[in-house]
Amino acid sequence: MTTLFTPLSLGPVELGNRIVVSPMCQYLAKDGVPGDWHLQHLMQLSLSGAGLVMLESTAVEARGRITHGCLGLYSDESEEALGRILSASRSAAAPGTKFGIQLGHAGRKASTQVPWKGGAHLSSGDALVEGQAWETVAPSALPFTSTWATPRALSESEMDEIANAYVDAAVRAVRLGFDVVELHSAHAYLLHQFLSPLSNRRTDSFGGSVAGRQRWPLAVAARVRAALPDSIAFGLRISANEWTPGGLDVDHAIGFTHRLKELGATYVCVSSGSADFGAKVPWGPGFQVPFADAIRRATGIRVRAVGGIADPVQAEEIVHSGKADMVALARAFLADPRWVWRAAETLDAPTYYPPPYERAKGLRRDAVRVG
């Protein structure tokens, strides 16, 4: 048995294998509500046989969406639609496949065009299909780039309201039956914006020192953890390097992870970058794995590696060598929703095929006569 296809416990949740479908924004929701696109997208990924399927980053309030097309979990309509999609996906999933949701808030990176229309910040005069711009908020009144609108610095009372929104979204996720709840604290979204000295210039108790910048993200994490039953695994996506002088590095990530573990976090997903628009990120297959390895060894928490991982042999090496407990793939699953089947054949490991699809077993390896 390869390590990649062995079970893994995330606290109370048992995964059938170490393969995770990474959260992937689809930008096709309407007012935060998912539709038929999301149904087919999640159902085909649920067929994959991955141990954990993560739903895309889901905003906890309307102004926390990246684009007008981003998913949200702040309304009864969205909760109802997600319930339909999750139920259908579970019915098609491999035995043991678990489902998670990533909750987030874009902060100063909100109110943008969808990527295929350039991803630029919306202005109040834009007449686009996506709709008009909206006010963005952040720890400090610093725009993400010189061409983007300047966000409004949040007051403490507004920070408390957003923390309540995180809790409310987490409670909705519990009602929906998600097995895992994850907070997005990377990619320069709001929680990450508070952590980073590049975006947090506050002079009150939520800025200045490392402890000050961590105070609000840790408070949000603590409140969400407290709102979840013990049967649900809780984790965060974090940034281990901002690839910018004066930005966060892996030592900060280790310290932050220690605090998260004390609060009851089950795991962290280790990412990097996106805090500085001009940062030069040395992207490549598995380029963030050394950060995951360092955090796992220093803290003992479960760690998920992500970033350009697509080769089954590389994925097996990462978990077999102990660099990470699990690997997450995104674009590899977009290109091949049956990636798990291919990996199992490559590594000579057993995996699940839905009975109607068992005829496809071995198709990638052997010559098959059609007829």
* Range list of β-strands (E), the chain: 8-10, 13-15, 19-21, 52-59, 98-104, 137-138, 152-153, 180-185, 233-239, 267-271, 302-306, 326-329
| Residue 321 CA to its chain's centroid (Å) | 24
Catalytic residue among 27, 74, 166, 189: 189
Token pair recorded at residue 236: 């965060």
Q: Please report the sign of the dihedral spanned by the C-alpha atoms of residue 272, residue 211, residue 198, residue 188.
A: positive
Return d(Cα 55, Cα 65) in angstroms, integer.
Answer: 15
Q: Is 189 a catalytic residue?
A: yes
Q: Which residue has the tokens 């097995």?
A: 179
Return d(Cα 102, Cα 178) in angstroms, integer.
Answer: 10
8 A C-beta contact, residue 145 and residue 202: no
Return d(Cα 110, Cα 117) in angstroms, integer.
Answer: 15
Nearest to 98 by CA among 26, 180, 30: 180
As annotated, the active-site residues are 189
